[in-house]
Amino acid sequence: QAKYLAQIILVGAQVVGRAFARALRQEFAASRAAADARGRSERPQSAAASRITGISLQEAQQILNVSNLNAEEIQKNYDHLFKVNDKSVGGSFYLQSKVVRAKERLDEELRIQAQSEKETGWKAET
């Protein structure tokens, strides 16, 4: 009887293991498809910046409450949110770090746009 019980447990563990592995593969494939779709919606340099900073352009815009990329508005909102979330005035270090990362991401996007405009201007002149 112990032999049959061990076989039942072994077969059950194999079934559960296969199901878990299949679910894991499906989740990985869905995650990759979502990342690819997100990457296709952005320019290659912008998608790379999102991967490097770990924050998307849309998320950064939401954090700093800006709808378009305007350096003055970004800086103004950054200064306000950074000061409000300062630990010394009872703010959250986590939120302050999110504000910093959002600013870095938007600054990188502004740099990418400026470089793109510069290259486009170069091509138009030649």
Cα distances (angstroms) measured from residue 114 to each of 20, 32, 60, 67, 120? 47, 30, 18, 18, 10
Q: Is the pTM of this model over 0.75?
A: no
Map out the domains of the chain as residue ranges: 1-39, 42-125
d(CA 110, CA 74): 10
Under DSSP, the state recorded for 42 is: S
- What tens digit of pLDDT does each residue of 55-103 get? 888 889 999 999 888 999 999 999 999 999 998 988 899 999 999 999 9
Burial class of residue 36 in the structure, from the number of CB atoms within 10 Å of its CB (0-12 exposed, 13-18 middle, 19+ buried): exposed
Integer-rounded Cα Rg, in Å, for the chain is: 24
The CATH code of the domain at 42-125 is 1.10.287.110
Lowest mean pLDDT among 14-18, 39-43, 50-54, 63-67: 39-43
Q: What is the DSSP code string of 54-99?
A: TS-HHHHHHHHT-SS--HHHHHHHHHHHHHHT-GGGT--HHHHHHH
